[in-house]
Chains A and B, each alone.
Chain A
Amino acid sequence: MTLVERIDQAPLLLQRWAVSFFPALLQPWVAMLISAAAIIGVFASLFALSTLAERKGLGRIQNRPGPNRVGPFGMLQPLADGIKMLIKEDIVPLRADKVLHFLAPIALIVPSLLVYSVLPIGRNLIAMQCQLGVLLFFAIGASTELSIFMAGWGSHNKYSLLGSIRAIAQMISYELPMVLAAVTVILATSSLDTVNIVEAQAGGFWAWHAFTPWGAIALLTFFICALAESNRAPFDLPEAESELIAGHLTEYSGFKYALFFMAEYLGMMAISGMAITLFLGGWQAPLPILNFIPSWMWFFGKLACFVVLFIWIRGTLPRLRADQLMNLAWKFLLPIALLNIGLAGLWVKSSGWIAWPISVILLGLAIVGLGRLLRGSRPRGGKRIYRYAD
């Protein structure tokens, strides 16, 4: 094994080395535990980093420096936040459903971590290679909706309930175009295995799915849905502070709140990881000569780009209205995603180049046309009609 390969496989080698100390009977279990611990450790620290990046970045976007008091350049701010969260009083409303209220954050954090098991973080670095990886990812991811509703219902608070109802409506609506966008990749690679999907994109950035007409549109659709799925601005209706205080988070404090917060970031990173795996070549280097850089570095680099993009968008766009949200999902993203599946099929059957002009024309027409429709559906100018007021 060359040195480059050794560095590339370092996490795996480390795990093997640690496992070798245990009796053969225990070894598979220990290996599993180690990968779980590594995932939790790595992504929890990434969560801390991205909260810092978010606060700093949002600050700069709003012409202020952001946190800069704790440690050099405010680097230790996440630590201070964590300590604050831990020592805060944990308040449970008197009339709350104690069991649901307690279980909701746990039921949210577990699937948020579980989805990482099928994400290939580097070459051979995957906690659980699974034939149905993509399916598993979406199935587990969908269960977070339940925990958010648990939180809203269990809090016995109308704001929480309204927030979680909104969350359910939003997440279910956006789940559909998101999965349909992922289906294009499954169609093209004829595999549900995340490792296979990444390997199908080997060779350089031109082999990535994002650089095909259907891939580009699917990535865009997927990204918009990812924003909505992780309840981030501009799709943060469930937690709209100006209307709902904090939605399903209203009655949570202390460490339970921190768990919700962490789940939001973990979900955001998991879904970005999935987008990278499906469309941006996973851990593949963009150019073959760059292969000397370890594969997991590429994955985390791309992940960092996604997180920055998430923060940037959050700092830029105002929150959508509920009807705009639904219109975008059902009248725009869904038809585009459906058309896109057809085009992906065409791409696979026609083996490439002939599909380019057809796809570009059809997608262009669809986007412009549906965009018009979306615009036309909102009342513009003229007299506003208030059906229920006055």
Chain B
Amino acid sequence: MLGTGILRGLKETARNVIGSFREKDRLPTVMYPEETVKTKENFRTFPFLVYDGDHAMPGLRCVSCRICEKECPPQCIFIIQERDENNKAVKHPRVFDIDFSVCMQCGICAEVCPFDAIKMDNIYELAGEDRFTGLLVDKHRLAKSNHYYHQIKPTEANEVDGRLAEDKRKAEEAAKAKAAAAAAKAAPPPTAAT
């Protein structure tokens, strides 16, 4: 019949209007600044540097190996290695800057880092007035505790912690074995001395 389609359409829109007051999925809007959508665990934005313990700078896991700097596709990581008074390289970055305005959030840095020192964050409210003060981020702003990492990505962080502990145990065992071997060498069997 003529006009039934119109009536059906009117019914549908009326259901939307009434439903928007009662059902959540007929009004999915989130009032953004007041409330936010909870992000998924593997949601990622920009990288950050993980540190262990309570103090950021000494605790940084980064050894300044510069692998991430070389791998970063848009070349937005800038690292200078720390040197001690004898001008000998120290396993610590003196400068570690990431230009967030260039970073494309690919996560390659986090993937290639052999020391699990750089991970992907989930912050996104970074709007600033000045590119150089706001988006060129130095190591002090990049450093975030392992605790924070556990908060934003528990599964991944636990996995990383397990792996690091395993590595450490192996390293210790290897060291022990080595020490034992060395000790064995240093102290020859008494029978041989006689």
Q: Which of B12, B16, B28 has the most CB of A within 10 A?
A: B16
The answer to whether A316 touches B13 (Cβ under 8 A) is yes
Q: Is the CB of A64 within 8 A of B10?
A: no
- Chain A residues near B16 (CB, 8 Å)? 60-63
The number of chain A residues with a CB under 8 A from chain B is 17
Alpha-carbon distance between A243 and B98 when the two chains are bound, in angstroms:
46
Name the contact of A315 in the complex, choosing from B2, B13, B28, B29 (C-beta under 8 A).
Answer: B13
Instruction: Tell me how far the C-beta of B31 lies from the nearest C-beta in chain A, rounded to whole angstroms.
Output: 8
Cβ contact of B27, chosen from A65, A315, A316, cutoff 8 A? A65
Instruction: Collect the chain B residues with CB atoms within 8 Å of residue A57's CB.
Output: 17
B27 — which chain A residues lie within 8 A by C-beta? 60, 63-65
Say whether A316 contacts B28, CB under 8 Å: no
The answer, yes or no, to whether A74 is at the interface (CB within 8 Å) is no
Q: Digit string of A304-334 for contact with B (CB within 8 Å is 1, else 0)?
A: 0000000011011100000000000000000
Mark interface residues in A5-25 (1 if CB within 8 Å of B CB, else 0).
000000000000000000000
What residues of A have a CB within 8 angstroms of the CB of B155 in the complex? none
Contact of A374 among B2, B13, B20 (CB under 8 A): B2
Asked if residues A316 and B10 are in contact (CB atoms below 8 Å), the reply is: yes
Summarize B's interface: helix, strand, loop or mixed. helix
Contact indicator A63/B28 (Cβ below 8 Å): yes
**Contact present for A371 and B17 (CB under 8 Å):** no
Contacts of B13 in A (CB 8 A): 61, 312, 315-316
Looking at the assembled complex, report how far the CB atom of B18 sits from the nearest CB atom of chain A, in whole angstroms: 9
- Docked pose: A313 CA to B7 CA in angstroms: 10
Indicate which residue in B9, B14, B21, B29 contacts A317 across the interface (CB closer than 8 Å). B9
Q: Does A338 contact B (CB under 8 A)?
A: no
Query: Interface digits, B1-37 against A, CB 8 Å rule (1 contact, 0 not)?
Result: 1100010011011101100110000111100000000
Query: Is A60 a contact partner of B2 (Cβ separation < 8 A)?
Result: no
Whole-angstrom distance from the CB of A348 to the nearest CB of chain B? 28
Q: Find B2's partner among A61, A65, A371 (CB 8 Å cutoff).
A: A371
Tell me whether A60 and B17 are in contact (CB under 8 A): yes
Please determine whether A316 and B2 come into contact, CB atoms closer than 8 angstroms.
no
Closest to B14 in A: A312
Chain A proximity of B162: nearest CB distance (Å): 44
Chain A contacts with B in 178-196, Cβ cutoff 8 A: none
Given contacts A62-B16, A65-B27, A312-B13, 14 further A-B contacts (CB under 8 A): A60-B20, A60-B27, A61-B16, A61-B17, A63-B20, A63-B29, A64-B27, A65-B29, A313-B10, A316-B13, A317-B9, A368-B1, A371-B2, A374-B2
Binding site for A on B (CB under 8 A): 1-2, 6, 9-10, 12-14, 16-17, 20-21, 26-29
Interface pairs A-B: 3 shortest CB-CB = A371-B2, A60-B17, A316-B9
Some 28 contacts from A to B, beta carbons below 8 A apart, are: A57-B17, A60-B16, A60-B20, A60-B21, A61-B16, A61-B17, A63-B16, A63-B20, A63-B26, A63-B27, A63-B29, A64-B27, A64-B29, A65-B20, A65-B27, A65-B29, A312-B13, A313-B10, A316-B6, A316-B12, A317-B6, A317-B9, A367-B2, A368-B1, A368-B2, A371-B1, A371-B2, A375-B2
